[in-house]
Amino acid sequence: MKKIVILGGGFAGVEAAIKLRKYKHDVTLISDRSYLFVYPISIWIPVKKKKFEDVAMDLGALSKKHGFDLIVDEVQKIDNSTNTIVLKNGVQEYDYLVVAMGMGKLKMQGMEHTHSICGKPEEAKTIEQLLDELVKKGHGNISVGFGGNPKDPTATAVRGGPAFELLFNISHYLKTNLMSISLLL
């Protein structure tokens, strides 16, 4: 039986692991997190409609249910000449490799002062904390933005769904919470 290693514990990696196990392959999923973060519902974390734990699915439970092996570790190097993955805490061999690690965010100057609902999962909690601070102050500024890839000639549509959804949630949250603050005064 061929050994398939999947790098990445997001939707693509988990779906690949489940499908490949259905075909009886020996599958190991490697993720640097012990959970699958469900980004589409993370927009509810900053406004306290969902907790972080509600949006994070345990990869161990998914592994047991669907029969793939799970390694929670950081990938240090992919060596395709020897079909090995060097991890922080070991080495994993493979016959076939699926890379589903997602796309990293561009590191542009000034980005260190921003937070993205589509970034690292912890960003949703950071946005929640900053929103709480703003509500406690009773005033402040929030900027919500989004952008496409100007180098993609097929990018003709606006791709701001999560930004719009988060903006609407924040707007409702602020109206509700700031109204209750002004009523208390």
Does residue 35 share a domain with residue 67? yes
Residues in the chain where the model's pLDDT stays below 50: 182-185
pLDDT at 155 (0 to 100): 63
* Co-location of 15 and 83 in the same domain: yes
pLDDT value of position 179: 64
Contact 59, 9 (CB under 8 A): yes
Structural domain of 155: 111-184
86 and 144 part of one domain: no
- CATH classification at residue 80: 3.50.50.60
* Count of structural domains within the chain: 2
Which one of 99, 130, 159 terminates a domain? 99
15 and 91 both lie in a single domain: yes
In this structure, are 71 and 146 located in the same domain? no
- Where are the extended beta strands (E) located within 45-142? 56-58, 69-72, 75-79, 84-87, 90-93, 96-99
User: pTM above the 0.85 mark?
Assistant: no
Q: Per residue in 132-151, pLDDT tens?
A: 998 888 888 888 877 666 77
- pLDDT value at residue 116: 84
